[in-house]
Amino acid sequence: MSDGEALNEDWIEDMTAELEGVIDFEHVEDNSRFDLVYHAGTHIFNSFSQTWSKTNNVSDRMIFQFPAEPNATSNNAELIIDMYADKQVTIDGETLFLPTAVHAAMDVDNEKVFEITVSKVTYADNAGYQMPVEISAQLFMDPMEMDLDVTRVSTMEYEMGMIFTDGALCDIRVNAQMELKDDDFENFTENGFEKVAVQVNVGQLSIRTLGDVAGLFSLDDPSDTQINSGLDLDVFFEDLKIADLEINDDMETVLIFYKDSYFEDSAVLYDGFWDDVSSLWSEFFGE
């Protein structure tokens, strides 16, 4: 799996198009619902005939066995979907089923390269409109892992946590607290925030917003001065403030100003992380 060959877009489209022969997509459309038990089975791709076959040897999961490269002749990749749960809701008189839990994982040459776990999704019941207000999910794309948790404290207060890690040097954590002006999600706009606070942790460093972040959302085209004033970004080492962050040149550069008046591009704090993300993206999807 390199340089995007494993998930070459045209190849994937051609291979997945043939799934219509073994998966009853009309059942999903007719019932407005994905039923994992109904679709359970092992789906095997034949590289020579470019077709899929299905065996009903499992009853609680969907297994897909296929080559990890367009030119491969053996099925060295396996994708398993072994959990899916949903909730019946009615929106404007129409019955729908929205997902509440999902688990899927993919191995290549018996090594895990992808896994997604959605263990909880809670939807707001709000007059003909459904919106997820609580989420707990984990995504792994070798070597990066992301955890996302959104918690509803009250109908208008929410907390969010995100963790990005590669299990080695990269460790970035984002925490946010949000307070809304009301709980009318159907008519929610960028002006609907009452308060927003964000903290980003990079190892032992933390970057915190101390300004009126919510007020920034009401500005159509804020200047650098308005952005810096609204964010008021401070940098801490553990609990000791060591610097300020300022955005310059129309959001092109973020500078870090230390107490001794020395400053530098803040990219030194996160370049390694984005290099890993960029490499990961190229690995799966190409340049």
Query: Looking at residue 147, what is its pLDDT?
Result: 96
Q: Are the CB atoms for 42 and 54 separated by under 8 Å?
A: yes
* Burial class, 195, CB count within 10 angstroms (exposed 0-12 / middle 13-18 / buried 19+): middle
> Pick from 120, 80, 114, 116: which is nearest to 99 by CA?
120
Query: Looking at residue 152, what is its pLDDT?
Result: 92
Does residue 240 belong to any structural domain of this protein?
yes
Query: Looking at residue 6, what is its pLDDT?
Result: 45
Distance, CA of 84 to CA of 100 (rounded, Å) = 8
| Overall pTM > 0.85 | no
> Do you find a cis peptide bond into 143, omega within 30 degrees of 0?
yes
Q: Which residues pair with 112 in a beta bridge?
A: 107
Q: Are the CB atoms for 180 and 192 separated by under 8 Å?
A: yes
Query: Looking at residue 69, what is its pLDDT?
Result: 86
In the numeric block, which tokens belong to residue 32? 């407005």
Query: Looking at residue 10, what is its pLDDT?
Result: 81
Query: What total number of domains does the chain contain?
Result: 1
Strands 253-258 and 157-165: unpaired
Domain of 193 in residue numbering reads as 143-287
Q: Which residues pair with 36 in a beta bridge?
A: none
> Do you find a cis peptide bond into 70, omega within 30 degrees of 0?
no
Query: Looking at residue 1, what is its pLDDT?
Result: 44
Does residue 169 belong to any structural domain of this protein?
yes
Query: Looking at residue 190, what is its pLDDT?
Result: 83
Does residue 77 belong to any structural domain of this protein?
no
Tell me how many helices (H) and strands (E) the chain has: 6, 16
Question: Which segments of the chain have a pLDDT < 70?
Answer: 1-7, 92, 125-129, 169, 249-287
Does residue 191 belong to any structural domain of this protein?
yes
Does residue 130 belong to any structural domain of this protein?
no
Query: Looking at residue 4, what is its pLDDT?
Result: 45
Does residue 151 belong to any structural domain of this protein?
yes
Query: Looking at residue 271, what is its pLDDT?
Result: 56
Does residue 250 belong to any structural domain of this protein?
yes
